[in-house]
């Protein structure tokens, strides 16, 4: 994107655009992020993808409400809130979309690839802490920023629709994986039975490792990227951690022989999460840790394959067949997760 457009956004936050050094930052698939250096301080500027988040003001509303709640009830909790623009809002609208700005948390860093079980423990502890501290918050006060985001029934339905309306040569090309995913429909049946027994909580819904800030000693500081904080079930957060922490390679890896489940990371993740959520989760919920992983990996495999069949309209593709690779990667991981015995 044209640097001038980000500079215009910074201007609306009261910065002299000539003072701003702008660098691309992070690797999210949906929003765009930059690191800004200005007045010898660092900031994070983000443009919200408003084709996906159709009401970005709902995100801003939720972040404000959460910030107020933490300030009042847990003043020492590190909550990364947004900077206020000149017009008093925390979300500015320009011709090219909606921008918001965060202070960069000094002495913090993020991790892109998880290499040590201690990092899994720390991250899971931070996501657990986030939901545990918010257990007194009225979940339904949160606005829905993406409806049915982790509703597996809907994701399955969208997959079925793509099989009727999607690109027919891509359907033919993916037939083995389509068949595999249709055969795993028992994961959906289990979700439909279980979900009503799980408590509706404040759930982050995007618990990948790069959404945790670590300090210089590699201790977790807090969670970031709060766009999808909504009422939900713990299986979303625990499951997405399993999807992204247990395997030594990420969802873009083409060599599927590298896909494995690392038990020591599983154990660290579960104990990190329980170190904050033990007293919150019901006995029934605690029996569903392994299922959480299966649930989220299945959903992501369905989403990637649906997008491939629909010609990459949602995730985009860096090369022809990218979403097919991602789907195959997640299907391989799903099979490994199903076979994995946590002991």
Q: Name the site residues for Mg ion (rule: CB under 5 A).
A: 206, 225
Residue 210 CB, nearest approach to Mg ion (Å): 9
Q: Find the helix packing angle between 175-183 and 289-309, rounded to 10°.
A: 150
Chain residue whose CB lies nearest Mg ion: 206
The two three-digit tokens of residue 63, written as one number: 């972040």
Q: Which of residues 169-208 bind ligand GN1 (CB under 6 A)?
A: 206
**Dihedral sign (CA 58, 306, 150, 70):** negative
Q: Which of residues 146-165 bind ligand GN1 (CB under 6 A)?
A: 146
Q: What whole-number distance in Å separates Cα of residue 221 and Cα of residue 109?
A: 10
Q: Which of 1, 3, 21, 29 binds ligand GN1 (CB under 6 A)?
A: 29
Q: Is 249 in the site for ligand GN1 (CB under 6 A)?
A: no
> Which one of Mg ion, ligand GN1, none interacts with residue 250, CB within 5 to 8 A by kind?
none
Q: Is 26 in the site for ligand GN1 (CB under 6 A)?
A: no
* Cβ distance to ligand GN1 smaller for residue 5 or 30: 30
Residue 259 CB, nearest approach to ligand GN1 (Å): 15
Q: Is 78 in the site for ligand GN1 (CB under 6 A)?
A: no
* Cβ distance to ligand GN1 smaller for residue 37 or 250: 250
> Which one of Mg ion, ligand GN1, none interacts with residue 300, CB within 5 to 8 A by kind?
ligand GN1
Residue in this structure with the two tokens 């990371």, named with its chain if needed: 265
Q: Is 131 in the site for ligand GN1 (CB under 6 A)?
A: no
Q: Is 300 in the site for ligand GN1 (CB under 6 A)?
A: yes
Residue 91 CB, nearest approach to Mg ion (Å): 17
Q: Is 28 in the site for ligand GN1 (CB under 6 A)?
A: yes
Q: Is 330 in the site for ligand GN1 (CB under 6 A)?
A: no
Q: Which of 30, 111, 221, 338 binds ligand GN1 (CB under 6 A)?
A: 30
* Cβ distance to ligand GN1 smaller for residue 28 or 321: 28
Largest CA distance in the chain: 58
Q: Which residues of 105-135 are buried (b: 16+ CB within 10 A; e: fewer)?
A: beebeebeebeebebbbbbbbbbbbbbbbbe
Q: Which of residues 42-71 bind ligand GN1 (CB under 6 A)?
A: 52
Q: Is 113 in the site for ligand GN1 (CB under 6 A)?
A: no
**x/- string (CB under 6 A) for ligand GN1, residues 218-247?**
----------x-------------------
Binding site for ligand GN1 (CB under 6 A): 28-30, 52, 146, 206, 228, 251, 300
């Amino acid at each position: 994107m044209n640097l001038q457009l980000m500079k215009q956004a910074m201007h609306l936050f009261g910065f002299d655009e000539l003072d701003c050094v702008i660098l691309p930052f992070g690797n999210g698939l949906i929003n765009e992020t930059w690191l800004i250096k200005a007045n010898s301080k660092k900031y994070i500027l983000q443009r919200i993808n408003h084709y996906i988040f159709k009401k970005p003001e709902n995100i801003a509303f939720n972040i404000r409400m959460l910030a107020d709640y933490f300030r009042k009830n847990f003043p020492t909790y590190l909550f990364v809130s947004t900077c206020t623009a000149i017009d008093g809002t925390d979300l500015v609208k320009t011709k090219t979309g909606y921008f918001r700005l965060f202070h960069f948390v000094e002495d913090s860093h993020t991790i892109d690839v998880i290499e040590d079980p201690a990092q899994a423990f720390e991250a899971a502890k931070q996501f657990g802490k986030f939901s545990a501290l918010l257990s007194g918050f009225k979940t339904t006060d949160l606005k829905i920023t993406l409806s049915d985001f982790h509703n597996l029934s809907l994701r399955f339905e969208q997959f079925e629709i793509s099989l009727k309306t999607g690109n027919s040569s891509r359907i033919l090309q993916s037939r083995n994986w389509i068949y595999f995913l249709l055969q795993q429909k028992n994961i959906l049946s289990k979700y439909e039975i279980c979900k009503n027994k799980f408590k509706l909580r404040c759930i982050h819904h995007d618990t990948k490792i790069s959404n945790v800030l670590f300090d210089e000693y590699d201790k977790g500081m807090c969670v970031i990227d709060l766009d999808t904080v909504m009422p939900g079930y713990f299986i979303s957060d625990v499951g997405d951690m399993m999807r992204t922490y247990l395997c030594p390679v990420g969802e873009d890896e083409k060599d599927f022989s590298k896909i494995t489940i690392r038990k020591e990371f599983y154990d660290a993740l579960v104990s990190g999460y329980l170190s904050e959520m033990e007293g919150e989760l019901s006995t029934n919920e605690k029996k569903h840790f392994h299922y959480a992983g299966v649930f989220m990996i299945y959903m992501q495999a369905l989403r990637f394959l649906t997008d491939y069949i629909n010609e990459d309209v949602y995730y985009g593709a860096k090369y022809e067949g990218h979403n097919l690779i991602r789907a195959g990667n997640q299907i391989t991981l799903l099979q490994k997760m199903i076979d994995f015995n946590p002991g």
